[in-house]
Structure 1
């Protein structure tokens, strides 16, 4: 079940807990979100939800840092 999206004028909750220099716009809906730095994502939580649903259970995060 998907949750209803609040208006675009309301930021993603992640933007409220990160420093201001790491806040950017969602690549899809242009809502303010935690986009840069550790823990950042180019999509807000509402735009990421359908993307994650299409990944399936076999997708895992692999760090590319040494």
Structure 2
């Protein structure tokens, strides 16, 4: 059994360790999180978990920059 996420008023832990100009709202719940943080995701860790579970380990970011 997993623990429920904290209230929306509490930021994602990633927001606590990144510079203030890199903090923004989660695209789903609007919780403060690291904008385009680990993996380029605009989701907090609680909103990202079910999405990543559906994607599986084979999905990777492909850079389009040269």
Tell me whether the two structures share a fold, i.e. TM-score over 0.5.
yes
- Residue matched to 2:57: 57
Unmatched 5+ stretches in structure 1: none
Query: What's the secondary structure of 1:54's corresponding residue?
Result: helix
Query: What's the secondary structure of 1:29's corresponding residue?
Result: coil
| Shift of residue 41, structure 1, vs aligned partner | 2.6
1:24-64 deviations in Å (ceiling 9; x for gaps): 0011111000014x645311000000000000232122222
Unmatched 5+ stretches in structure 2: none
Number of aligned residue pairs: give it. Answer: 65
Give structure 1 regions of 4+ aligned residues with deviation exceeding 3 angstroms: none
Query: What's the secondary structure of 1:33's corresponding residue?
Result: strand
